[in-house]
Amino acid sequence: MATTDANLATHVETLRREIERHDRLYHVLDSPEIPDTGYDRLIRELRQIEGEHPELVTPESPTQRVGAQPADGFQQVTHRLPMLSLGNAFNDDELLAWHARVSNILERDDFEMMCELKYDGLAVALTYERGNLVRGATRGNGSVGEDVTSNLRTIKSIPMRLNPDLAPELIEVRGEVYFPRSKFVAFNIQREAEGLPVYANPRNTAAGSLRQLDPRMTAERPLDIFVYSIGASVGLPDIKSQSEGLDYLDSLGFRSNANNFLAKSISQAANYYRSWIENVESLDYACDGVVIKVNRLDYQNHLGNVGREPRWAIAYKFPAMQEETVLEDIKFNVGRTGRINPYAILKPVLIGGATIERATLHNEDYIVEKDLRVGDRIVVERAGEVIPQVVKALPKYRDGEPAKFKMIEECPSCENKLVRREGEAASFCVNSACPAQLVRLIEHFVSKGAMDIEGLGVKQGEALIDQGFIKDVGDIYLLKNHRENILEMERMAEKSVTNLIAAIEKSKEQPFIRVLVSLGIDLVGTEVATLLARNKGTLDALKSADADELSAIPGIGPKIAHSVVDFFADESNVAVVEKLKDAGLQMEQTIDESANLEQTLEGRRFVVTGRLRNFSRSDIESRIKELGGAVSGSVSKRTDFLVVGQDAGSKLVDAHNLGIRVWSEKKFQMMAG
């Protein structure tokens, strides 16, 4: 639909409201009205308008769910009201004792109790001002948490804006972020297929996902949330009970748990608990008990707290699901970066309705610390977790003295000698031609931040490896010799093969820094590669340097230095590098012309944000530094210019509020030459 300049802002607001409505229908109410293609069409239209008119972007826009850039760290947030912990009950006697204490204080035993499933996730507090999400924080120590607003915005069941007719001036909503179990299993299956280490359980993965410095990483994990209470507020309607509060949160656009139950007596609460012991495996989220709360808020206030625990609530924990079985073998797989991941092969055992045959063993230290030996009788615990944990060995059942665990010394895929770096628990295969790593190494090698070769994706890479045309990344430059044979492969048309070979040839022009990045040396990204290139000058000089020499370079620590030395100590890596050198790649740093450039940006501080069309962010930041400018990760009063691409997000709003000058990518290109 054609939209005039006069009503563009109105149209954008209408689009946002429509997208928010569909987000709630899909992610909260589970009753979508339109297919995914229709939803994607709305998002694309909004992104296009905001890309062309960045002044219309607001932090609450649906496009900003993954709009923030990687953070340097997390700011601390002091909760307006403490996020208390809960006392625990582990049997009926302890539950009845809690009920008796509450009854004595209230001088009555006929009070209602709200029973809520106890999710095994990460507690967060969401703060809304005038209906807009302004901050999201972890529970932390209960008084102080971490600001993870950008990451929480990526969770689509968290509304960016509340129902405007019902939202108070200020409300803090408490909830639990979790990783759905079905999606967690699929997530791990995908990681295993990619040769990456699998995660042990949904709870820890959810917590780790919320603490990613790059919100785009969080967005790749399908996190969800249940809300369960209201914290600090201003202008809240008269709410008299926990059940009324949950209904109010639902009306604002949040999602509470449909399994909540209002018990009239302690026996009803106990029956609710017992019913879920039997049915917990039917849930699509980890659950380790039931939280029982006195329903009336005036009773809660009267009961108060003991230390950091409320008297008016208790967590009745489910018994852990443990079984004994036999550790039949210890095996290993290889991750994309060469990390060796040990795992246990178990005699099949039924735990919580699921047959368990494998368990993660994390790393060598984990196995040694628990003294796990093949043939041992062991205790395996599931406790609501998708991937079981080996709790301990039972040495009293050992027949004789089985051999102690000894970490393998060679890669199970390529038989190269493994490396365990000082201070790290994991062992690594550093062979760049290792078949288990090769597909992902190719993916990294051809990426935009490395050699930037279009047309060689994961599927094409796998097919070329299967046909024997690629045995290491150096063989990419020999594909032109197999042109006719490649054309006979499925989905390898004349035009696509021609374009691919042309892209490969063009990549030979990439500078030495990009070549260094492309090698996939652990811990060597663009910034580290830049330091190494400018200090050593050539690949031969870098290859012959020892760890002490590299550690002396400002910005290069011992871990990076040893990683580089280990890489070049491997003969197979040296062979690949020689192949790349023969292919004509740039193996030395060209004269650094930045010293002769006029320092036109000297004394100016820049922030770069948004998706850029023609440059990577590191390209622009490097240019700023070459011209004498400084680069910061966040907008403040000290910022002079904000360089924006599409989906600029909250930094653009901050810049407008502070009166900071905004440059488009085109404007920067013109001003910086």
Q: Are residues 528 and 584 in the same domain?
A: yes
Whether the predicted pLDDT of 42 surpasses 90:
no
Q: Are residues 496 and 534 in the same domain?
A: yes
Q: Which of 79-83, 532-536, 651-655 has the lowest average pLDDT?
A: 651-655
Q: Are residues 148 and 296 in the same domain?
A: yes
- For residue 221, give its domain range: 88-317
pLDDT number for residue 470? 92
State the average pLDDT for the chain. Answer: 85
pLDDT number for residue 593? 44
Q: Which of 76-90, 272-286, 420-434 has the lowest average pLDDT?
A: 420-434
Last residue of a domain, one of 541, 562, 590: 590
pLDDT number for residue 594? 45
Structurally, how many domains does the chain consist of? 5
Q: Are residues 126 and 214 in the same domain?
A: yes
Q: Are residues 599 and 650 in the same domain?
A: yes
Helix (H, G, I), strand (E, B) or coil at 466: helix
Whether the predicted pLDDT of 32 surpasses 90:
no
Last residue of a domain, one of 566, 590, 614: 590
> Torsions phi, psi of 488, nearest 5?
-80, -10
Q: Which of 14-28, 59-73, 245-259, 501-515 has the lowest average pLDDT?
A: 59-73
pLDDT number for residue 647? 64
Give the pLDDT band of residue 202 (cuts 50, 70, 90): confident
The pTM of this model reads 0.52
- Nearest residue to 609 via CA among 86, 68, 234: 68
**Model confidence over 52-78: pLDDT tens digits?**
888 788 777 887 765 555 445 678 888
Beta-carbon neighbour count of residue 6 at 10 Å? 7
pLDDT number for residue 462? 83
Give the pLDDT band of residue 508 (cuts 50, 70, 90): very high
pLDDT number for residue 283? 87
Question: Once rounded to an integer, what is the mean pLDDT over residues 626-650?
Answer: 78
User: From the candidates 118, 156, 293, 317, which is the catalytic residue?
Assistant: 118
361 domain-assigned? yes
408 domain-assigned? no
Give the pLDDT band of residue 624 (cuts 50, 70, 90): confident
pLDDT number for residue 595? 45
Helix (H, G, I), strand (E, B) or coil at 233: strand
461 domain-assigned? yes
pLDDT number for residue 3? 45
Question: What is the token pair recorded at 462?
Answer: 């796998």
**Quick one: what percent of the chain has pLDDT higher than 90?**
39
Give the pLDDT band of residue 209 (cuts 50, 70, 90): confident
Q: Are residues 174 and 283 in the same domain?
A: yes
Q: Are residues 328 and 295 in the same domain?
A: no
pLDDT number for residue 387? 66
**Model confidence over 551-605: pLDDT tens digits?**
888 778 888 898 899 899 988 889 999 999 999 999 998 755 444 456 677 778 8
CA distances from 51 to 78, 592, 658 (A): 35, 35, 21
226 domain-assigned? yes
Give the pLDDT band of residue 238 (cuts 50, 70, 90): very high
Whether the predicted pLDDT of 445 surpasses 60:
yes
Question: Once rounded to an integer, what is the mean pLDDT over residues 39-57?
Answer: 81
pLDDT number for residue 659? 79
582 domain-assigned? yes
Last residue of a domain, one of 288, 317, 346: 317
pLDDT number for residue 141? 78
CATH at 336: 2.40.50.140
Question: Once rounded to an integer, what is the mean pLDDT over residues 99-117?
Answer: 95
Whether the predicted pLDDT of 26 surpasses 70:
no
Q: Is 347 a catalytic residue?
A: no
Q: Are residues 522 and 482 in the same domain?
A: yes
Amino acid sitting at position 668? F
307 domain-assigned? yes
Give the pLDDT band of residue 114 (cuts 50, 70, 90): very high
Q: Are residues 329 and 436 in the same domain?
A: no
Count CA atoms within 13 Å of residue 337 on its CB side. Answer: 11
Beta-carbon neighbour count of residue 467 at 10 Å? 14
Question: What is the token pair recorded at 87?
Answer: 């006392």
Question: Once rounded to an integer, what is the mean pLDDT over residues 234-249?
Answer: 95
CATH at 292: 3.30.470.30
CATH at 626: 3.40.50.10190
pLDDT number for residue 609? 83
pLDDT number for residue 1? 40
Whether the predicted pLDDT of 118 surpasses 80:
yes
Q: What is the largest CA-CA distance in the chain?
A: 89
Question: What is the token pair recorded at 582?
Answer: 């023969």
Please give the full DSSP string across 622-646, using - where no structure is assigned: HHHHHTT-EE-SS--TT--EEEE-B
Question: What is the token pair recorded at 542?
Answer: 């870098």
Q: Are residues 161 and 125 in the same domain?
A: yes
**Model confidence over 297-321: pLDDT tens digits?**
999 999 998 877 899 999 998 877 7
Q: Are residues 645 and 602 in the same domain?
A: yes
CATH at 34: 1.10.287.610
250 domain-assigned? yes
Q: Are residues 164 and 279 in the same domain?
A: yes
CA distance 672 to 665: 10
Q: Which of 426-430, 491-495, 579-583, 614-618 has the lowest average pLDDT?
A: 614-618
> Torsions phi, psi of 393, nearest 5?
-90, 160
412 domain-assigned? no
